[in-house]
Amino acid sequence: MPPPSTHGPGFILTACQRKGGVGRSTLLFNLAGALSRPAGSSVGRRVLIVDLDPQASITQICLGPEAVDTIPTLRSVVGLLSDDFLDAPESLIVPSGLAGIDLIPGSNGLSRYNFPDPESTGDLQEALRESLRPLRSQYDVILCDTPPSLETLAWLPAVAADVAVTPTPAEPLAVQELTHAARFLERARWARNPRLSWLGVVLTLYQPRLAVHAAYAKALRETHGALVLEPTMPFNVAFKECMVARKPLAHWKPRTAAAKAMDAIAVEILRRVDLLRGQGQAQGQGQTEPTPTPTGETSSDSQTSPSNPVSNLETLRETAA
Ligand SMILES: Nc1ncnc2c1ncn2[C@@H]1O[C@H](COP(=O)(O)OP(=O)(O)OP(=O)(O)O)[C@@H](O)[C@H]1O
Ligand SMILES: [Mg+2]
């Protein structure tokens, strides 16, 4: 993975998947590791993790389990969403304890912002986007961890982000959620963020020797082509152990197969973002306003719109072929 010659302006990536326990936090934590310390290079990307999950999983990994109780709620990401917070967004950034990775901590207090109907939350919808805007110049990548829901705490980063990924085990219940993820991202595009692109599905906890995983992966690739990233995040005990070590694999055990799998995912994500930037889709370029649809669901028009996530992926498929 070639290092950047300078840092920023970065892209914002969010995770979008309603199913819980799919390895989203593990994926993002290790993605931050792979980006900040790429294999074969001493120069990494500057990464900011924004923890929007009330479980505050990544915050606990980075800062320790007591952090969620000791950090005042307004000194967590809640500050970015609260009218009572009057400081600069930068003031909420803390070192993660890992070289090249900073963090805006999560908090249990986030849960009261997870309104079920995000479009009815008014100005709150822009709060994260506005807060992250000045931070783009300081980071190469801003990663938003989200809770297992498609409500306001997933909506805010979808409004702020350039790209979304959907971590999905190759199993029925998680795969069935892909439709909801697609509709949710489409809603966010139409309502607030036309530049948002669905970068793809990352197969997580993947065990190719399990017949069900192999069958679902094959079917997904046949049906959705390049929507499914070629590199997968394998099921590997190293991903559990690195949580105990509180270090991503790229920092802790960079020569393991699991670390190399993460490096491949990071490379593919950067490649896709570069392709989108070339098309003027990522990083706020090419913001053509789509015609809103009343339901927010994918319409036949949006299937052919040059700036919608699905057609972005069609283009990616052609370019990648
Ligand atoms: N690739 C992997 N191999 C083995 N275990 C994994 C892998 N990825 C995640 N896990 C384990 O699966 C469990 C769930 O992971 P994680 O917390 O990252 O999921 P999540 O989708 O963020 O969950 P939640 O929906 O609660 O936020 C954890 O015990 C984690 O250690
Ligand atoms: Mg999580």
* Residue 263 included in any domain: yes
Distance CA 38, CA 169 (A): 25
Q: How far is the CA of 306 from the centre of ligand 2 (A)?
A: 32
Q: How far is CA 155 from the centre of its chain?
A: 12
Distance CA 169, CA 183 (A): 19
Report the CATH number that the domain containing residue 64 is assigned in CATH. 3.40.50.300
Residue 236 alpha carbon, nearest atom of ligand 1: 3
- Place 279 in a pLDDT band, splitting at 50, 70 and 90: confident
The DSSP secondary-structure symbol of 152 reads: H
* Residue 66 included in any domain: yes
pLDDT at 296: 32
> How many CB atoms sit inside 10 A of residue 220's CB?
18
Distance CA 280, CA 224 (A): 23
Task: With CA atoms as reference, report the closest residue to 100 among 56, 28, 42.
Answer: 42
The answer to whether the CB of 59 is under 6 A from ligand 1 is no
Per-residue tokens: 55: 């479980």
* Residue 5 included in any domain: no
* pLDDT over threshold 50, residue 128: yes
> How many CB atoms sit inside 10 A of residue 55's CB?
18
With beta carbons less than 8 A apart as the criterion, state whether 149 and 55 touch.
no
Task: With CA atoms as reference, report the closest residue to 166 among 152, 151, 180, 187.
Answer: 180
With beta carbons less than 8 A apart as the criterion, state whether 158 and 230 touch.
no
* Residue 2 included in any domain: no
Which regions of 146-259 does DSSP assign to beta strands (E)? 163-168, 197-203
* Residue 4 included in any domain: no
Tell me the per-residue pLDDT of 89-113, one tens digit each, with 9 for 90 and over. 999 999 999 999 999 999 999 999 9
Distance CA 45, CA 8 (A): 9
Nearest CA to ligand 1 atom 3: 235
Residue to mutate (ligand 1; options 165, 203, 239; most atoms within 8 A of CB): 239
The answer to whether the CB of 24 is under 6 A from ligand 1 is yes
Give residue 166's domain range: 11-320
Of 301 and 183, more confident: 183
Tell me the per-residue pLDDT of 191-223, one tens digit each, with 9 for 90 and over. 999 999 999 999 999 999 999 999 999 999 999
Torsion from C-alpha of 213, 215, 218, 223, nearest 10 degrees: -110
The answer to whether the CB of 30 is under 6 A from ligand 1 is no
Which regions of 6-160 does DSSP assign to beta strands (E)? 11-15, 47-51, 94-98, 101-104, 141-145
Q: How far is the CA of 61 from the centre of ligand 1 (A)?
A: 12
The answer to whether the CB of 216 is under 6 A from ligand 1 is no
Tell me the per-residue pLDDT of 62-91, one tens digit each, with 9 for 90 and over. 999 999 999 999 999 999 999 999 999 999
Residue to mutate (ligand 1; options 26, 62, 235, 242; most atoms within 8 A of CB): 26
Q: How far is the CA of 65 from the centre of ligand 1 (A)?
A: 16
* Rg, Å, the chain Cα set: 18
Q: How far is the CA of 57 from the centre of ligand 1 (A)?
A: 10
* pLDDT over threshold 70, residue 317: no
* Residue 158 included in any domain: yes
Of 305 and 106, more confident: 106
* pLDDT over threshold 90, residue 306: no
The answer to whether the CB of 257 is under 6 A from ligand 1 is no
Residue to mutate (ligand 1; options 17, 18, 19, 25; most atoms within 8 A of CB): 25
Number of domains making up the chain: 1
* Residue 17 included in any domain: yes
* Residue 81 included in any domain: yes
With beta carbons less than 8 A apart as the criterion, state whether 33 and 248 touch.
yes
Task: With CA atoms as reference, report the closest residue to 261 among 235, 229, 233, 237.
Answer: 233
